[in-house]
Each structure stands twice: as structure tokens, then as C-alpha cells.
Structure 1
């Protein structure tokens, strides 16, 4: 029997269930499924592919040290199914679970059904894949995070040649896509480990407050988010290393704040796994009726950073260039689109997702819905662009760096976007648009029907973490 390990987004050697268990007979092949249609689907982009390729390259080099390598299969899950059936008789398939967009999910579910007992899917991110119980979720997550890390795969003794292209050929085929992406964060397990160590030992100093600033957060945040998305390091590896160093750290408050975010990351991914329809529908279904019209021209100006509000535009230009921006600015960007512009989140969400190198559908979609006021269980919060500009960039130094044409303007004028025709026109009026949004959102929340539905949303998706706070 030959073991077939299929990779998607868990691109690491250590603590990788599919690789570890698939290698135990030392007779295995490793396949990465490259589906071009997937990379063009909802929220996916070449900057994410670039990061993923970095991870694959390092993993391929590591596997070669133990007699293995990554074989690239080009096509869909259905194409891969046909190839496996045509080339193997006695086999067993190993895959790590992945909560992903609809295009992937449909292919993945059919693939699992087609192979049935010849395939095993391993847990990921501490999720409850079956027998979902939100009340027990936190305990289950803690149990998984404290479990022993899985060792490296066994040496591979299978020397048979596979009729698939190898990584270097694949790399040469795809590298032309990345010419205009010089600033995108580099992927790979060694990069992840270096970031982890520098963050836990030094960069975390002041993390709890610095993470709100678009300039300070670039260094003071862990910057591990794309590594979590593509699995170049596991959350369990990070969690356990954090617990090792925490008792000796001078920055315990900051590290405890970071530790909570590991939990919340998985909590949000679980929501999409539990209810895949959230990719296209509001968590509270009544909210889908709030924004029924959209303005493509307005959305285009927003995504390009041409709204007429300097701080917001600077954030969008930074994100476009670098593939990352801190959480508070992400929240402000989405709040502006959903409240001030009053655009449907289903239209703006995938466009914004394409800009994030760390696009994790479960996290992104949950946060988008929270910042759009459509979950039913989170209080609506309309971020003030002017206030965020004053709070996070008081001297407008960061904004001016991104928008040098404003270099000679007083910071106060930049914060309030009072530039007397010297900057592009504003696409909305902040005060009147915020008032309209507030009236609409709170108007729908008053009904008994809304409150009853919100209770159901809480029972399915609400965190119960406080009950188990002593276990983390």
C-alpha cells in the first residue's frame, strides 16, 4: 500500500498530522494541488499565492532531506481523483482539514465522499469538525493546544518516479505572476520561527497598545497571520512556545493579550466551518435586507484609496503595496465601506480579501460582518476616520509618507479632511452618512423578531470562553 499525502494550506514539516501519519509506513508520496481556478475565486489573489509558494519551496527542500519531495498536481479535486484512480490500486489518502472558500469546500467535500474509507482528514486549528458543541468548544480547543506536538515525517523509502511536475518547474511557471509584488511578506517555516522568537522575546514590548497604530504595529505585531493561514507554523507550536517563555518574560501583559488572540483566531474559523453560508449571507439573516444596492464606482475609489479622506486613503495605499495592515485599520476600512458608503459587505469583502496576504476566510468574513453590523450578537461600531487619524497618527507623519502631496498641510486639516480643493473630493459626508447608518442599523435591531433570531445566532456562534477562563 502507498500513502498519498495531499497538501493545501498546512505547509510545514513539523506538527503536520497528514504528513506525520502518512509517512509511518515510509512508503508515501506528497502532492500539492494547484488549481488555478481556486486562486481566482472569492477573495483569492496572487499575493497569497506568492506567500504560499515560499512555504512550499521550503517544505520541498526539507522533504528532500528525508527522501521525499513535493509533486505538483495541476487541476481540480475531481481531476486529482481521476489521476489517483488511474495510477494506483492499493492506496490510502491523508489530508489536513481546511476551512476555506466555497469553491474549495465543494471540491473537497465531493473528494472526501468519493474516496470514503480510503481517505482520512485530520483536525486543524482546534476546530470541532463533527459533533459540534459550542458550550464545550473552549475546553476542546485547550485540550488540543496542550497535546504533544507531532514529530517530523519518517524517512521515505519509496523511490518510484511520479509523473507529475516538481516544485522548481512549477515555480518557474508561476513566478511571472509576482513581478509587481516586491513588498509582500516572505513565507516559510524558518521565517515563521524567526518572527515568533523575535516577537516573544523583544518585539512584543508594548504590543497591547502599539498594535492599534498603523506605523508601530508593523514591527510590534507578531506578523504571524499569513503563516497561520498557510500553515508554515501551527497555532499549537506558537501556543506552546509562548507558554514556555511566558513565566520568564518582562512583557507578560502584552503576551497574555497575544495569547487570547490565538483563541479568537480559531473561534472565528469555527464559525465559517459550522455555517459555510456565512461566506455569502449575514450571520443574522434579517441584515441581508439592509443594503440591497451597490455603487461600483464608489467601491472602486474605496479599494484604490481615493475616498478623499487622507488617513483612510493612506491605509488603503499601504495595504495595496504591502499586503498587510493592522487590525484596527482593517476594522476602520470595513466600517467606512459598510456604514459611511452603505455598500453591501458581500461586494466589498472579496475585494478587500484579495489585498490581504494573510486572507483566512473564517477570520476575514467574521470580522467583515462584525464591522458591518450584521452578526446580530455584536454591538454596531462605526469607526470615525477623523478620530482614528488623530489618535493613531497625531502628527500625520505616516499619512504624509503615503501621500507626499500633503506634506505641507497642517495635521489638523489632514485629520478632518479640510484641504480646500487641494486633495481629491470626498465620496461621502462623514456625519450625515454615519447618522443614516446608525438609524438604519438600530432601527432593525429593535424588533422582537430580530432579537429572537439574534438569540439563535448566539447559541450557534457566541463564545462561551469566560466559563473556562481558568483552563487557558
Structure 2
């Protein structure tokens, strides 16, 4: 039995929001744990239902407002029990989730509990295997309702299993197309309708009295799993914090276009809403409507709105094919660079000790803060795949672990695109030296994250190894001792990448003759490339730094 979906509460192609954590951690790349310990049962024999009650299972949409599953449940059932399950799968050592992301989740759940309390109902928290706990409700006559969300790996297997066993109702309402032969047909019109349709709210009938008690708290979960975030500067999770951040961004959106490429400017000049969208504290639709209503007209507003379409675009990709998280979409590139895997080289990249200051600063920033602007994420991925010649998924999983806003749909599709394994995009090899000159000319970002270069004049930060010896002596920075020389020769590796990918281009294009592969790899109705560019060729911003395209590009 496939997963069942219900139409949006108002029967229009509009709906919910975007998530981001993997059910609050999502397809986290974990392995199944067969004997997860349950810390309580959440439901008792006194909680029998005659078929008029449902469990509203929150995973990533951690809000009440503009949540189509909330609207559906309160409209269709007399009694609704909002429930979040702490799945032990996402707290194991093998889980791709840093403690900072777990803390963001817990803060978002505390906020969600307050949202429900304002409506006179308790959010129930339980810990254990979802199949076991939901089964306890189903055995007592409760139905299970949740949102339909793109996911992969463990999350996909779990959802399919629960749909088969319990007949879970997955409420469709996030702007994505499901259950149609060609999701791309009229896609932009569909998403635009979703954005423009009024947001939804709980039905006036309310939630009833579910009579179910929580068996655990966020504090108890943090103590049990020793959740101790070490990252700094991480925003607080939850809807209230997200709304406040949205308020601030609307006031400064004019500066958005000039802030997106520079990592220092992006820290304060971009919306920083990605984590709140990832966890569903805010819906993509309500952010769209707030910006369209209150932000001043101009390039900042139009550019940001285009990002919201791209958010839905990449989530549609994962919804259509969950394999994005695991294998190259183009079969010609499956296993590509696997024979080159060098654990020492990868560790050097992870530590930010490659000898390329912009890469090193970005990798250290990622590890320390759990955030990085799009251009630096793309540069690090490009460097990892093209220049270091390492297998893309190793790098993608590292980013997914550290990013507080890690969205599987965006992270893994972008990693495949930025490392060239889709086979349908023009090669884009970011030049990390050019990135210093263009986006950190005064060295603000590099000096902050690579303090061993702080005394080196900014003119030499693009290539410290070229600093004259007398300058090194005068400023007290010895390249090769205080800061490493480049671990690879950039020009030679760049040429090697062009040669290697060039030899496979014909085969990669032939693979696109398969209609199914072509649909997965490209969102163009003609199967053509999405807009990307060679960084050395100019200022093309690729999949996220510029206005990029009209809505027609999504069809």
C-alpha cells in the first residue's frame, strides 16, 4: 500500500510549509535500530476511541498556524491529540545531526507546546519507536494524521511501513505536486497558486479533550542523550523567534542583493530564515505573503521571492525521487571518485587546513556556527568534488551533520549539482582565490576564521603561498609553518576535472535519453540544464545567488 495523501483542507492546490530536520531530523542517513528503548507509552486503556479521535503526528511542521494537517484533523475529528515522538534513531552516534540542530528542534517543540496551550490543548511528547507508540493508539481505535513531506533513507522507509500497517493519512498541502503523471506540468502555476492562496487555521470546532499525558520532556531527552551544543551564534528555535527574524528581514530587505555573496555581509544581510523553514516553525507560504505584503518593492523582494520558489523546486525533486540522498542521479557518475577517496585529504578539508583561505574559513565557520551562506557552501562542495576529487556523498553528509538548517532536499541535490554528477549542468568550478578577491577583499571573513593569517596583508589572502618572504618575515606569518601551503595544485586539478568530466559528457548526455532519468535530473520540460555557470567565466550565481530565472524555468 502506498502512502495515502489527502487534499489541502480547502481542496485547493495550496497548503502547508517546508520542513527541515529529519522529522525534525528527516532522512538523516542513520541506520535502523531494532530494539530502541521506549521511555513511556503515552496512551492508556482509558484512552479508547470510537473512531472520532486522531493522533496529529508532528514531524517537521512544528507550528499550528498555516498547518494543513492541523486544519484537516480538527475539521474531521472530534478529538485531536497533537503528538511529537522523539525517535531514538535520531539520537544515535550514527545520526547525521549535530547537537545544535537537536537543541533548535527542542526549542521549537517548547514553542509548539506554548502554541497549543494558547488553544487549550496539550502537545504530547513521547519517546520510542514510532511504530510501537503509534500502534498503541491505533490498537485503541485512534487514527493517525500527519503531513506529507519529502524525505529519504530511514524516514522514507518508516513512512511507507507505517502507511502500510496503520493507514496513516498524509495530508498534502505544501505546494508540491503529488499523485500526477508529470509533476512538472504546470508546476509554476501550481506553486504560485499555493503561495497566493489564503493561509489555513485550525477548524472552529477545536481539538476536544484528548486526555493523553506526555511521558517525557525536552529537558529529559537532552539529559538522556547528553545534548550539549558547542556551536556558537546559533539562533533560537521556535515560531516566535522565526517571526521576529522575519520582521527584521522585511525592514532590511533592500540590502539583500548586495549581501548574499559575501559571507560576512550574508550573516546579517540575508534572512537567516532557513532553519525556521526547515523545521516548519514558519511556512514558506506565510513568509511569501508577508514579504509580498510588507516589504518594499524592488530587487531585494523579487530576489528573495525567487528563493522561495527554488525551495519548493528542490523539495519537489526529493519528493519525486528520494534517491537524491544516496546515489548520483545520472547513472554514468555513480561511484565517481570512489577510487580516489582519501580519508586524510577529507579530514584536512573538514578541519579547514587546505591552504586555500576561503575554503578553510568556510569550513571552520560551518563547524563552529552550523551556518554558511549559499555561495560558500557551493564553493566548498565544488572544491571537494572537482579539485580534491572526492566522492560527493562524503562531503554532503558532513555538511548535513553540521548545518543547523540542513534540508535533505536542498543539501543533497545541491551537492550533486555543485560536484557535477547530474551530468546535465555546465561545469561550475568555483575558484576559491577569486572568491577571496570578490567577496572578502578586506579579509574580514578570513581573518575571523583563520586567525593565523590575521597579520598577513589582505592583498595576499587569495594566495598566501605567493607572499614574498620579506613580507612574511615582516608580518610574522610563515607560510608552510603558521599556515599550510595548498594541499593540491589548483590549476592542474581544475584542468584534470575538465578533462575527466569532458570524457564522460557524451555518455552522460546519452543517459538523459531515458525519460525517467531526464525527469529526475532536470526540472526543465525539455530536459535542458538549470541555470549554473563557470565561476571563472563571470558573475553567474548558479542555483541560489541571483534572480536566475523566470517562473517558466521551473517548467
Q: Which of 481, 492, 495 is equivalent to 1:435?
A: 495
- Structure 1 position 239 matched with structure 2 position 298: no
Query: Which residue is 1:452 aligned to?
Result: 510
Distance 1:223 1:22 in 2: 31
In structure 2, the CA distance between the partners of 1:351 and 1:153, relative to structure 1 (3 Å rule), is: farther
Aligned counterpart in structure 2 of residue 222 of structure 1, from 271, 294, 298: 271
2 CA distance for matches of 1:129 and 1:393? 43
Q: Structure 1's 168 and 357: CA in aligned 2 closer, same or farther, altered over 3 A?
A: closer
Partner residue, 1:423: 483
Question: Any gaps of 5 or more consecutive residues in structure 1?
Answer: none
How far apart, in 2, do the equivalents of 1:285 and 1:6 lie? 36
State which of 299, 305, 308 in structure 1 corresponds to 2:346.
299
Residue 206 of structure 1 deviates from its aligned partner by 2.4
Partners of 1:469 and 1:201 lie apart in 2 by 29
Secondary structure of the 1:3 match is: strand
Q: 2:389 aligns with which of 334, 342, 351?
A: 342
Rounded to whole Å, the distance in 2 between the matches of 1:237 and 1:55 is 17
Report the count of equivalent residues: 461
Q: Indicate conservation of the 8 Å contact 2:56/2:145, yes or no.
A: yes
Cα RMSD after superposing both structures:
2.3
Question: In 2, Cα distance between the equivalents of 1:471 and 1:454?
Answer: 18
- 8 Å Cα contact 1:142-1:471 kept in structure 2: no
Cα distance in 2, alignment partners of residues 58 and 107 from structure 1 = 26
Structure 2: any 5+ residue segments left out of the alignment? 1-51, 466-477, 526-548
Aligned-partner Cα distance in 1 for 2:243–2:224: 26
Q: Which aligned segments of 4 or more residues in structure 1 are displaced greater than 6 angstroms?
A: none
- Measured in 1, the distance between the counterparts of 2:424 and 2:173 equals 26
Contact kept in structure 1, 2:523 and 2:554, CA below 8 Å: no
User: Matches of 1:321 and 1:263 in 2, distance apart?
Assistant: 30
**Partners of 1:252 and 1:170 in 2: CA distance:** 47
- Pairing of 1:47-446 with structure 2 (within 5 A): 47-86=100-139, 88-89=140-141, 91-116=142-167, 119-131=168-180, 132-152=182-202, 155-158=206-209, 160-162=211-213, 164-170=214-220, 173=223, 176-202=226-252, 204-246=253-295, 249=296, 252-293=298-339, 294-418=341-465, 420-421=479-480, 422-445=482-505
Task: Say if 2:83 and 2:126, in contact at 8 Å, map to a contact too.
Answer: yes
CA contact (8 A) 1:390 1:415 kept: yes
Look up the SS of the partner of 1:209 in the other structure.
coil
User: Distance between the aligned counterparts of 2:552 and 2:330, measured in 1?
Assistant: 27
Tell me if structure 2 keeps the 8 A contact 1:185–1:322: no
Please state how far the C-alpha of 1:296 moved relative to its aligned partner. 1.2
Instruction: Kindly state the Cα deviation for residue 16 of structure 1 after the two structures are TM-superposed.
Output: 0.8
Using the size of structure 1 for normalisation, the TM-score is: 0.92
Contact 2:96/2:401, CA 8 A, preserved across alignment: yes
1:470–1:270 Cα change, 3 Å? closer
TM-score by length of 2: 0.78
* Deviation (angstroms), 1:413: 2.3
Give the drift of 1:346.
Answer: 1.6
* Structure 1 residues 3 and 159: alpha-carbon distance in aligned structure 2, compared to 1, 3 A threshold: closer
CA contact (8 A) 2:332 2:508 kept: yes
Matched, 1:21 2:72: yes
Q: CA deviation at 1:45?
A: 2.7
- Structure 2 CA distance for partners of 1:375 and 1:395, relative to 1, 3 Å: same
Instruction: State the alpha-carbon separation in 2 of the partners of residues 193 and 26 from structure 1.
Output: 30
